[in-house]
Chains A and B, each alone.
Chain A
């Protein structure tokens, strides 16, 4: 479903500011795989997701999605294949537009826009049904401005919008990091449900090791632009947070740099 071949990315090459963000990353995912990615700040996790989404182009290497080489495909074309939820709840929705208008935008992945029709009754009913699966009452607020929703509600809406058109790949970049703990578990549960319901191939970055262990069937640990450790389905079943930390120390000969990652419960 997804294949990365020898991806390299360096920002500001050959300057004092040179930043090696990805170094020779090769990986592949089968349909339905759900991989969680952990790693300290600046490890290259977001850069990797940006490569998949086409927001950034690799210096070297290529990206294949669903049997197609998409390396040169611009972001908005590639977005047909990709659903995305960002860390910032403000990124994934348009605040000045209503819930149903936002849902309308997310249909862009599957159909052309009409110059003559607005949101039809049938589409509205479909939106209502989809929103009711979130179980937070958004189905009764189709005409509320999204800017009036709380961060958790906006993120739930973003997640729904990113998934219901069933993209080939779902990319989640610390999509619960900006929420308070109760909202985090709401979003995590929704993530589980939606990924399962639509059988999505998913790549999720998180800074919470427990979350990373709990969700999905595979796990990658990144550091300094490389995937330094990976756990397959078998290995992941009995993986613990101390395991992960000691793996990191064994491989790197130092402790994991991010306090956030250490402190995360």
Chain B
């Protein structure tokens, strides 16, 4: 049980990078981008093919991110230059990328169990330094060695990678270019009226978003030990669920808080996922339904809360007005 949770946290951290990408498109640019289902696999496919071909896994992983970047830029161009509605642009890219991904992979599935991946490199480096001994020490002191994971290297390295991505993103979003990108999503016509080529920012933003998605895909295939052309199905909803869970549980207005919230949201999502799998009557295949329900709930519930709050306020102000009226009349009477 506890070991499944460690696995969930690991996955949560890896998929968190994808969720950060979704955060950029959906929340910052206000662009509901469905490219993600395709670009996630594109990133993974490029990395897998390169790794199988003997490329250094670091370079292969970065190449996966670049592949995602290109895909995102194309979606951005379809929308800005081609005047295609954002949803449709994303769907078109998602469909197109399915074929592209198959072309890249040459086959629907690429096993890479015995390849040199980022994680196998990290693992041997980790073991050679005997780092697990350090991390397991606290568990030994408390006497809960049974609750310790078999090895810490994935969790620790993924925390480091996720935090690096987060920090870079935080930095970028507060630069002049990053501020302009955010403002473009907030009020595009205003940014345009200050002589800014907003199309350029939308294309770049979509590129950055899908670069993160591709990077996440590249890490996932190495973590899984295989690449599969269907790996991306429903990815956008998983990303969205993570963003929404993060916003609801940990969200704050500040950018640094939001990016952290998205990462935590992704981890919470994976924990829910692994718990749901342990419920007897649920099957792994039900997870997409559950994910959809999470997203629907997260979209609907705040709206309903807002409405009932507004209703209450309306009633309150009406009552207050009535009271004032009564008082006013009383005062009126007394002055007469």
Contact = CB atoms under 8 A, between A and B. Distances in A.
Interface in A8-46: none
A183 interface: no
A105 interface: yes
B204 to A, nearest CB: 10
Nearest to B27: A96
Interface stretch (A86-94, A206-214, A252-260): A86-94
A104 interface: yes
Nearest to A110: B195
A118 B175 contact: yes
Contact of B193 (A84, A96, A115): A84
A94 B185 CA distance: 9
B187 to A, nearest CB: 4
B179 A108 contact: no
For chain B, which range describes its interface: under 10, 10 to 19, 20 to 34, or 35 or more residues?
Answer: 20 to 34
B42 interface: no
B253 interface: yes
A141 interface: no
Interface string B184-228: 001101111111111000000000000000000000000000000
A78 B178 CA distance: 23
B182 A96 contact: yes
B198 A76 contact: yes
B194 to A, nearest CB: 4
B195 A79 contact: yes
A230 interface: no
Contacts of B198: 76
B177 interface: yes
A76 B186 contact: no
Contacts of B182: 94, 96-97, 101
Contacts of A108: 180, 191, 194-196
A107 B177 CA distance: 12
A149 B187 CA distance: 16
Interface in B32-75: none
B177 A114 contact: yes
Given A76-B198, A77-B195, A118-B175, A91 B190 contact: yes
B183 interface: yes
B278 interface: no
For chain A, which range describes its interface: under 10, 10 to 19, 20 to 34, or 35 or more residues?
Answer: 20 to 34
Contact of B179 (A93, A101, A145): A101
B252 interface: no
Contact of B177 (A84, A106, A115): A115
Contacts of A75: 192-193
B146 interface: no
Contacts of B190: 91-94, 105
Main secondary structure of the interface of B (DSSP, over half): helix
Contacts of A121: none
A117 interface: yes
Contacts of B174: 118-119
A75 B190 CA distance: 12
Contact of A105 (B175, B179, B197): B179
Contacts, number: 87
A53 B192 CA distance: 11
Nearest to B199: A76
Nearest to A93: B190
B192 A95 contact: no
A113 B194 contact: no
A102 B175 contact: no
Nearest to A102: B183
A97 B179 contact: yes
Contact of A114 (B175, B183, B196): B175
B175 A97 contact: no
B132 to A, nearest CB: 39
A128 interface: no
Interface string B164-182: 0000000010111111101
A236 interface: no
A75 B198 CA distance: 11
Interface in A45-95: 53, 75-80, 82, 84, 90-95
Contacts of A124: none
A113 B180 contact: yes
A161 B187 CA distance: 15
Name the residue in A78, A82, A113 with the highest tally of chain B Cβ atoms < 10 Å from its Cβ: A113
A109 interface: yes
A75 B191 CA distance: 11
A116 B179 CA distance: 12
A99 to B, nearest CB: 12
Contacts of A76: 192, 195-198
Contact of A101 (B177, B183, B189, B193): B183
B30 to A, nearest CB: 10
B186 A95 contact: yes
Interface of A: 53, 75-80, 82, 84, 90-97, 101-102, 104-109, 113-119, 145, 161
24 contacts: A76-B192, A76-B195, A76-B197, A78-B195, A79-B195, A80-B195, A92-B190, A92-B193, A94-B186, A94-B187, A95-B186, A96-B182, A97-B186, A101-B179, A102-B183, A104-B179, A105-B194, A114-B176, A115-B175, A116-B175, A118-B174, A118-B175, A118-B176, A145-B253
Interface of B: 172, 174-180, 182-183, 186-187, 189-198, 253
Given A76-B195, A94-B187, A108-B180, 12 more contacts: A75-B193, A91-B190, A92-B190, A92-B193, A95-B186, A101-B183, A102-B183, A113-B176, A114-B175, A115-B172, A117-B176, A118-B174
